[in-house]
Amino acid sequence: MTLFYALLAGFVFGIGLLLSGLADPHKVLAFLDLAGNWDPSLLFVMGGALLVSAPAFALAARRGRTLDGAPLRLPARGKVDRRLVLGSLVFGAGWGLAGYCPGPALVSLGWGGLKPLLFVAAMVGGMALFEFIERRRQATP
C-alpha cells in the first residue's frame, strides 16, 4: 500500500507541476528574470504550496504515523553549513540556467525533447559524481 501512496503522491505532484507552469522552463526563467520581463505568477504558486503544506506537516508531525500506519520519518532540522550553502547555490544556478529543477525535469521528460533529456542526464551524472566523491571522502581516514 505504501507504494500506491507514493505513486499517487507523485502523480498529484506531477499534475500540479504541469498546471502551475513549473514544468515550463520559459515560465520559470521569466519568474527568475527580476531585472527584465518578470512573471510573478510562480510566486503565488509557491505561496499557495506553503499555505497547504505547513498545516499538513504540522498535522503529520503530531500523528507520528503515515496513513497506512507506518512510522513517520520527517527530516530533522540540521545546521546551515558550508556544504548546504554551496549545494543550494549549485541547485539555484542550475535552475536559473536551464529553467528546470529535478521534479519538473522528470515531468518534462514525458513531453520529449532534447533539453529535458540532457538536463536529466546531467542531473543523474551530478548525483553519481557526488556519491563517488562522498564514498571516497568517507573511506579516507
Condensed to tens digits (0 to 9), the pLDDT of residues 49-101 reads 999 999 988 888 888 888 778 888 887 878 899 988 998 998 888 888 888 88
Q: Given this model, what pLDDT does residue 66 score?
A: 81
Answer for the pair 100, 121: CB distance below 8 angstroms, yes or no. Answer: no
Query: Residues 6 or more apart from 122 whose CB is under 8 A from it?
Result: none
Query: Residues 6 or more apart from 22 whose CB is under 8 A from it?
Result: 16, 28, 42, 45, 103, 104
Q: Given this model, what pLDDT does residue 30 score?
A: 92
Q: d(Cα 73, Cα 67) in Å, to the nearest integer? A: 13
C-alpha cell at 33: 528574470
Give DSSP secondary structure letters for 30-82: HHH-TTSS--THHHHHHHHHHHHHHHHHHHHHHH-B-TTSPBP-PPPP----H
**Side chain identity at residue 53, one-letter code:** S
Q: d(Cα 60, Cα 63) in Å, to the nearest integer? A: 5
Q: Given this model, what pLDDT does residue 72 score?
A: 85
Condensed to tens digits (0 to 9), the pLDDT of residues 9-26 reads 889 988 988 888 888 889
> Taking the model in full, what pTM does it have?
0.73
